[in-house]
Amino acid sequence: MSQIISVAIEKGGVGKTTTALNIGAGLQTLGRKVLLVDLDQQGHLSRWLGWHEDRQPAISELIYQEVSKIKTAEYKQFIRHSEREQLDYIPSNKMLGGIYAVLGADGESNTVLCRIFHHDFFKSYDYIIFDCPTAVDNLLVSNALQCSDKLLIPVQAEKFAYDGIPLMLQRYTAIKRTNNIVPYLSGMLITMYNARTIMSNEVLDALKKSYGQLVFPKPVPMLQEARNSTDDESSICGSLVRRKNSRVGQAYLAAAKRIAGEAV
Ligand SMILES: Nc1ncnc2c1ncn2[C@@H]1O[C@H](COP(=O)(O)OP(=O)(O)O)[C@@H](O)[C@H]1O
Ligand SMILES: [Mg+2]
DSSP string, 224-251: HHHHHHT-TTSTT-S-STTSTT-HHHHH
Output the pTM of the full model.
0.96
Atom 5 in ligand 1: residue holding the nearest Cα: 227
What is the per-residue pLDDT for 236?
A: 62
**Rounded mean pLDDT of 35-51?**
94
Identify any residues that bridge with 36 across adjacent strands, giving them in sequence order: 89, 129
Going from the Cα of 167 to the center of ligand 1, the distance in angstroms, rounded, reads: 22
What's the confidence (pLDDT) of residue 233?
Answer: 64
Topology of the domain covering 3-260: Rossmann fold (3.40.50)
CA–centroid distance, 18 to ligand 1, in Å, is 6
Q: Is the CB–ligand 1 distance for residue 234 below 6 Å?
A: no
Mean pLDDT of 117-139: 94
40 φ/ψ angles, rounded to the nearest 5 degrees: -110, 125
CB atoms within 10 A of CB 118: 15
Best residue for ligand 1 mutational test, from 7, 10, 16, 18 (most atoms within 8 Å of Cβ): 18
Across the chain, mean pLDDT equals 93
CA–centroid distance, residue 13 to ligand 2 (Å): 7
φ, ψ (nearest 5 deg) of residue 6: -100, 135
Which strands make up the sheet holding 185-191, listed edge to edge?
A: 80-82, 87-90, 34-38, 127-131, 3-7, 150-156, 185-191
The ligand that comes nearest to the alpha carbon of residue 230 is 1
CA 114 to chain centre: 16
Helix (H, G, I), strand (E, B) or coil at 103: helix
Ligand 1 atom nearest to CA at 12: 23
**136-161 pLDDT per residue, tens:** 779 999 999 999 999 999 999 988 88
Closest listed residue to residue 176, CA positions, set 142, 213, 223, 134:
142
| pLDDT tier at 238, thresholds 50, 70, 90 | confident
- Give the chain's count of helices (H) and strands (E): 10, 7
Q: Whose CA is nearest to atom 23 of ligand 1?
A: 13
- Residue 217 beta carbon below 6 angstroms from any ligand 1 atom: no
What pLDDT sits at residue 18? 96
Lowest mean pLDDT among 25-39, 112-126, 198-212: 198-212
Q: How long a stretch of residues is the chain?
A: 264
pLDDT band of residue 235 (cuts 50, 70, 90) is: low
Segment 214-218 mean pLDDT: 96
- Give the closest residue (by CA) to ligand 1 atom 16: 15
Q: How confident is the model at residue 162 (pLDDT cuts 50, 70, 90)?
A: confident
Which amino acid is it at 192?
A: M
Per-residue model confidence as pLDDT tens digits over 46-86: 999 999 989 899 999 999 999 999 999 999 999 999 999 99
Ligand 1 in contact with 12 (CB < 6 A)?
yes
Pocket test for ligand 1, best of 36, 225, 227, 234 (most atoms within 8 A of CB): 227
State the pLDDT at residue 69. Answer: 95
Question: H helices of the chain, where?
Answer: 16-29, 44-48, 59-68, 99-104, 112-117, 139-147, 165-176, 198-211, 224-229, 247-260
> Cα–Cα distance between 234 and 200 in angstroms, integer?
29
Q: Is 156 in the pocket of ligand 1 (CB under 6 A)?
A: no
Distance from Cα 8 to the centre of ligand 2, integer Å: 9
| β 87-90/80-82 pair status | antiparallel
Q: State the Cα–Cα distance between residues 114 and 257, nearest whole angstrom.
A: 26
Q: Which of 31-45, 204-218, 231-245 has the lowest mean pLDDT?
A: 231-245
Cβ contact 189:154 at 8 Å: yes
**Residue 244: pLDDT band with limits 50, 70, 90:** confident
Ligand 1 site, residue 104, Cβ cutoff 6 A? no
pLDDT at 241 over 80: yes
Q: Answer yes or no: are the C-beta atoms of 7 and 18 closer than 8 Å.
A: no
* Range of lowest pLDDT (9-13, 31-35, 228-232, 250-254): 228-232
CB of 230 sitting under 6 A from ligand 1:
yes
Query: Ligand 1 within 6 A of 246 CB?
Result: no
Mean pLDDT of 112-129: 98
- The average pLDDT across 252-260 equals 97
